[in-house]
Amino acid sequence: MDLQKLFAARIGGAQFGLTDEIYKFEKIKRAKAAARAARPEVEMLDFGVGEPDQMAPGPIREALKIAVDDPANRGYADNGVRAFRVAAANYMEKFFGVRGLDPDTEINHSIGSKPALAMLPLCFVNPGDAVLLTVPGYPVLGTHTKYLGGEVVKVPLRAEHGFLPDLAALDPAVIARTKLFYVNYPNNPTGAAATPEFFDALIAFAHRHNILIVQDAAYATLIYGQERLSILGRPGGKDCAIELHSMSKSYNMTGWRLGFVAGHAKAVKAFAEVKDNVDSGQFKAIQLAATAGIADIQLSESIREHYRRRLEKLVKVLQRAGFAARMPGGTFYLYLPAPKGAGAQVFKTAEEASQFLIRECSISTVPWDDVGAFLRFSATFESAGAADDDRVLGELGRRLAAARLVF
């Protein structure tokens, strides 16, 4: 058979797998492997990883051990365990001051935020509908919008606008055919946190134009120098928004795969309908383990403190190397203008800068060239413990100084 003829156009049709286009993260992976092979004695300092460096908190792991042995938890979870939805409602109140979310109609679990972002277009997007998506950013909702024949309109996040979308600059013709507006605060990769004023303006915009806001709150608890914020806690927010929360970053549960969507009851109902036709729910033991920890502020605060300490040190080291670094509003990322060269070498893009740093300095970062040239440094770097953080960061500083970066 000629399988090549069977592939759907959305993944490249008959050309699927035949082009030699290499995606950003694959390029980084290959460059890291080449640098390790060329200089096996040099430690790779990895600031490119986008997931926690630590395990999930002890009480959550202990709760899993008990739940896994309970025969009542062995079956399909379908659209979720009520105890987790109740715990999620408590968490929204305790952490974000969002009162009175109905665990039965306004919350539904998901197997992480990523699949939820893949399913939401199935609920709303018809061919030709537009979806607004901030860039740089997490692409999954956009990818699935395109799969369905929708149009993805990129909304740039610029430093001069605090990495918040400029609502006044949006094209009225596009707005008229827009169904969803994807935003993500605290933001990956820029590290920007939303302000109450921005959420209020976004809510007014959504009501004015009948657009559902999809607020990806995957980093909601990792916030510095300001209050935690949910769009659902702002006036009118629950009537025009759905917010996605995740256990991945807030509770170091990346591989466990658990999150929830909350907000407008009809949007949650549509999500549950589609989800019911896609998966059979996350393992009940995992939902019950999360239930034991999600509303415990102390657990989440110690995780946030870990990143705050590391980010503050990282900022100082990068400033000394010439980067315009300062503490982000949230997440565990620093998003910084890329160097323009090193010694006599010139970098035309952030990708060139990133490849140089991997190849010549064994330092891995993630480049972004969507809106200006930026490098993302993540405070999730590997070390042998808090004391070893200083050694890794000292080594980073020495290597960057030797590289003679030009800004």
Ligand X SMILES: Cc1ncc(COP(=O)(O)O)c(C=O)c1O
Question: Which residues bind to ligand X, rule: CB under 6 A?
Answer: 50, 112-114, 138, 184, 188, 216, 218, 246, 248, 254, 259
Gyration radius from the chain CA atoms: 22
Residue nearest to ligand X (CB): 112
For helices 82-96 and 284-293, angle between their N-to-C axes, nearest 10 degrees: 30
User: Six-digit token pair at 108?
Assistant: 């539904």
* Cβ contact 180:148 at 8 Å: no
Picking from 364, 326, 338, the residue whose alpha carbon sits closest to that of residue 136 is 338
Q: Smallest distance from the beta carbon of 119 to ligand X, in angstroms?
A: 12
Q: Smallest distance from the beta carbon of 4 to ligand X, in angstroms?
A: 31
Q: Smallest distance from the beta carbon of 13 to ligand X, in angstroms?
A: 28
Of 115 and 162, CB closest to ligand X: 115
- Give the separation between CA 194 and CA 186, rounded to whole angstroms: 7
Q: Smallest distance from the beta carbon of 269 to ligand X, in angstroms?
A: 21
Of 183 and 403, CB closest to ligand X: 183
Q: Smallest distance from the beta carbon of 356 to ligand X, in angstroms?
A: 25
Q: Smallest distance from the beta carbon of 50 to ligand X, in angstroms?
A: 5
User: β-strands 130-135, 178-184: how paired?
Assistant: parallel
Of 187 and 362, CB closest to ligand X: 187
DSSP SS3 for 342: strand
Of 190 and 362, CB closest to ligand X: 190
- Give the separation between CA 201 and CA 196, rounded to whole angstroms: 9
Of 118 and 204, CB closest to ligand X: 118
Of 46 and 352, CB closest to ligand X: 46
CA atoms within 13 A on the CB side of 145: 23
Of 333 and 356, CB closest to ligand X: 333
User: β-strands 212-216, 130-135: how paired?
Assistant: unpaired
Of 258 and 393, CB closest to ligand X: 258
Q: Give the Å distances, CA to CA, from 303 to 206, 264, 332, 389.
A: 33, 30, 11, 15
Give me the helices (H) in 239-327, please. 247-250, 265-276, 284-293, 297-320
Can you spell out the DSSP letters for 136-184? SS--HHHHHHHHTT-EEEEEE--GGGTT---GGGS-HHHHHTEEEEEEE
Q: Smallest distance from the beta carbon of 214 to ligand X, in angstroms?
A: 11
- Give the separation between CA 407 and CA 388, rounded to whole angstroms: 29
Q: Smallest distance from the beta carbon of 331 to ligand X, in angstroms?
A: 8
- Give the separation between CA 312 and CA 395, rounded to whole angstroms: 16
Of 50 and 142, CB closest to ligand X: 50
Of 275 and 342, CB closest to ligand X: 275
Q: Smallest distance from the beta carbon of 346 to ligand X, in angstroms?
A: 31
Give every CB contact of residue 25 below 8 A, 6+ residues apart in sequence: 366
Give me the helices (H) in 177-213, please. 196-209
User: β-strands 341-342, 405-406: how paired?
Assistant: antiparallel
Q: Smallest distance from the beta carbon of 5 to ligand X, in angstroms?
A: 33
